[in-house]
Amino acid sequence: MLVKIITILSIVTTGLVAGTFFAFSISINPAFKQLSDAQYIQAMQAINKVIQNPAFFFAFMGAVIFTPIAAYMQKNKEASILLFIAFGVYLIGVFGITSFMNVPLNNTLDKFVISSATPLEISQTRTNYAEPWNLWHNIRTTATIIAFVITIMAGMSMNTFQSKKEAPKDDGNTISVSTK
């Protein structure tokens, strides 16, 4: 039972991060194209602060913690292999990229003071930030969706989503009565 709970936590936390990144890609990034350079920088600085919250950290770190534990605890070899693959994809493609690419860009942007910058500096800062940040964000979004699908496949291979109780089989001797 514990392995199923941890596997479900792996699936849910990976899915929450995949959904967060996907929603950002398809809704927030397109909206940002309508913002001036200064508005864009202010919005990203605000997002970079508010994303650092317990709910996001639980999901983001939960996938790093629950997935390898679920893989290790598996008695089902196929599920174990799939979870280790999902963990590798997530660790490199999501956690690694976020930690070594997106976060350093966020930290640099956080230090930029719009009020003392010229319009040219603001424009250059947006370009220098947005282009690499979006490239890495798209890669990590793809990686987290792949990891999420793999964790679902692992759950399905171990019958995580099926109850142990099965409907009684009709042995030909059962009479079914229907009341309307």
The answer to whether residue 17 is domain-embedded is yes
Q: Per residue of the chain (180 residues), what is the pLDDT tens digit?
A: 999 999 999 999 999 999 999 999 999 999 999 999 999 999 999 999 999 999 999 999 999 999 999 999 999 999 999 999 999 999 999 999 999 999 999 999 999 999 999 999 999 999 999 999 999 999 999 999 999 999 999 999 987 555 555 554 554 444 444 555
The answer to whether residue 163 is domain-embedded is no
Range of 77's domain? 2-157
Cβ distance 43 to 35 under 8 Å?
Answer: yes
pLDDT, residue 179, reads 55
The amino acid present at 127, given as its one-letter code, is T
The answer to whether residue 173 is domain-embedded is no
The amino acid present at 39, given as its one-letter code, is Q
Q: In this structure, which long-range contacts are made by residues 140-143, counting pairs with CB atoms below 8 Å and at least 24 apart in sequence? A: 140/21, 140/93, 140/94, 140/97, 140/98, 140/102, 141/18, 141/21, 141/22, 141/24, 141/25, 142/93, 143/89, 143/90, 143/92, 143/93, 143/94, 143/97
pLDDT, residue 84, reads 98
The answer to whether residue 126 is domain-embedded is yes
Residues with Cβ within 8 Å of residue 93, at least 6 apart in sequence: 139, 140, 142, 143, 144, 146, 147
The answer to whether residue 167 is domain-embedded is no
* H, E, C per residue of 31-56: HHCCCCHHHHHHHHHHHHHHCCCHHH
The answer to whether residue 176 is domain-embedded is no
Q: How many domains does the chain have?
A: 1
The answer to whether residue 178 is domain-embedded is no
pLDDT, residue 162, reads 57
The answer to whether residue 177 is domain-embedded is no
